Amino acid sequence: MRIVWLFLSPLIALVAGVLLLGLSRKIMARIHWRYGPPLLQPVIDIIRLFSQRSASHGILFDLGIVVSLAGSLIITLFLPFGNIAPLSGSGGMLVILYMMLIGPLGIALSGGESGNPNASIGISRNLMLAIGYEVPLLMVLLAVMTRYGTISIVEIVRVQQASTWSIASWPLVVSGLAYLLVMPAMLGFRPFEVVQAPQEISSGPMVEYGGSYLALVSIQHALSLYITISLFVNLMLGGSGNIVIFLFKMLVVFVLFLFVNAVFPRFRIEQAVRYLWRWPTLIGLIGLVLVALVGR
């Protein structure tokens, strides 16, 4: 059974991620008073991209993408998905935190190899944005881990199942608020859509990607949406013992942030980092201090 889930859960994550991507385009269109593309438009795009002949800039250009997608696929094995977490016993949250680096780093290496300054600017923005939101995020994660006294995410979900969701329990509600504030940045949604910024830096790290490269990056993007939201649901909304309910929770969270995305313009990178280091960090710090004071 475990072997089956080892292969099934990345697949489900993939499908869910791509559907979320399609849904986001549809919902965005409806908010803009447009009709919008079909729900499966991302799939059509990916099929088209795979059938195109593209330009490669070297071995690292290829390998970076492959590693990035592989890394993203693997995280889905560590994240509990409903009641299933095939590899959760291999290091817990710390491994997840580190594995979440592989995706962006792979793309950063590959994009850097493309030799395009736009790509380099995009990557530098991506890394700066990452350190921007990691500061509050790490505070939130540490608050959760300290509160439950464990680094195993399965354990965290189980405790929440037995009592209440973290976001509804006393000291963690503050951390939950900080987490909500940084989620758009983690998802790459506006007002933090500084990395791709098609109008100024020609879609940033992806400027030289065409064909199968772009297809893999799109898949990776879909997966990273899935991973980010799934982490939030697991840590804050109590995960779930049931796959359907779990996916439903993810959908609700996703649509919530989509609404933010649809109506906002974009920060400059500097403003984004300043914002992230001001309000979410302050709230996250208060949350962490509270947890340290209240204890387990």
Partner 1 sequence: MMVELLLIVAFGGSLLTYVLGKLSSRLRNGFALLNALALVIMIGMLYGQEFERSLPFGFLGIQFSIRMNMLSWFFAATILGIGLLAVLYSFRYMKGKERLDYYYFTLLFINASMLGTVVAGDLLSFFIFWEMMSWSTYLLISLRGGGKAIFAGIKYIIMSLVGSLAMLVAIVSLYTAFGTVDIGELAVHMQSASLGLALLVVILFSITFVIINALWPFHTWLPDAHAEAVSPFSAILSAVLVRKGLYGLFLLMYVILGFSFLDRLAVGAISFSNVLAWIGAITIVFAAFRALLQNDSKRILAWSTVGQGGYMVLGVSVATSMGMAGGTFHILNHCIYIALLFFVAGAIEHRTGGIRDLDSLGGLIKKMPVAFVGGLVGIFGLIGLPLTNGFVSKWLIYKSLILEGRPFLAFAAFLGTWGTILYGYKFIHNIFLGQLPDELRDVKRVPFTMAVPIMVLVVLVFLFGVLPGIPLSVVNQVGTYMGFEPLDLNVWGIPSESGTLNVVNLLAAIAVAGFLVWLLFKTLGRSTRVDQSDNYAAGAAIPRGRYGFTREFYAPLYRIVSPYVKDFPDALFLWIADRTKALGGMTRKIYSGYVGSYVMYIVLFLAALVFVQLTWSPW
Partner 2 sequence: MDRNQLIKWLEAPAKMGHKYSLHAVYFCTGCGIIEVPPSITARWDAERFGVLPTASPRQANLFLITGYVSVKTLKAIIRTYEQMPEPKYTVGFGSCPINGGMYWDSYNTIKHLDKYIPIDGWIAGCMPRPEAIFVAVTHLWTLIDKDMADGYKRYRKYYSQYRANQEKVLLGLEWPPLFPIEAG
Core vs surface per residue 187-220: b (16+ CB within 10 A) or e:
bbbbbbbbbbbeeebbbbbbbbbebbbbbbbbbb
222 binds, among partner 2, partner 1, none (CB under 5 to 8 A by kind): none
Nearest in space to 228 (alpha carbons), one of 85, 76, 42, 92: 76
- For the record, the structure tokens of 138 come out as 């790490």
56 binds, among partner 2, partner 1, none (CB under 5 to 8 A by kind): partner 1
Cα–Cα distance, 260 to 2 (Å, whole number): 38
| 99 forms part of the interface with partner 1 (CB under 8 A) | yes
3-state secondary structure of 278: helix
CB-nearer residue toward partner 1: 27 or 62: 62
Residue type for position 255: V
Cα–Cα distance, 225 to 85 (Å, whole number): 18
Q: What is the DSSP letter of 168?
A: G
> Which residues in the 135-164 window bind partner 1 by CB under 8 A?
135, 138-139, 142-143, 145-146, 149-152
Contact 74, 227 (CB under 8 A): no
44 binds, among partner 1, partner 2, none (CB under 5 to 8 A by kind): partner 2
| 82 forms part of the interface with partner 2 (CB under 8 A) | no
CB-nearer residue toward partner 1: 209 or 254: 209
- For the record, the structure tokens of 266 come out as 């974009």
Residue with tokens 């190899």: 113
CB-nearer residue toward partner 2: 30 or 268: 30
> Which residues in the 15-34 window bind partner 2 by CB under 8 A?
25, 29, 32-34
CB-nearer residue toward partner 1: 95 or 159: 95
CB of 47 to partner 2, least distance (A): 4
| 217 forms part of the interface with partner 1 (CB under 8 A) | no
Q: What are residue 84's phi and psi, to 5 degrees?
A: -110, 130
Which stretch in 134-142, 221-229, 232-240, 251-259 sits in contact with partner 1 by CB under 8 A?
134-142
Alpha-carbon Rg for the chain, nearest whole angstrom, is 19
Count other C-beta atoms under 10 Å from residue 5's C-beta.
16
Residue with tokens 């590899």: 87
| 210 forms part of the interface with partner 2 (CB under 8 A) | yes
Q: Binding marks (x or -) toward partner 2, 160..199, rule CB under 8 A?
A: --------------------------------------xx
Which stretch in 38-46, 144-152, 163-171, 231-239 sits in contact with partner 2 by CB under 8 A?
38-46
Dihedral sign from CA coordinates of 101, 107, 110, 116: negative
| 51 forms part of the interface with partner 2 (CB under 8 A) | yes
- For the record, the structure tokens of 128 come out as 């700066």
Which stretch in 27-35, 48-56, 237-245, 256-264 sits in contact with partner 1 by CB under 8 A?
48-56
> Which residues in the 256-295 window bind partner 2 by CB under 8 A?
none
Name the residues that contact partner 2, by CB under 8 A.
25, 29, 32-37, 41, 44-45, 47-55, 198-199, 202-203, 206-211, 214
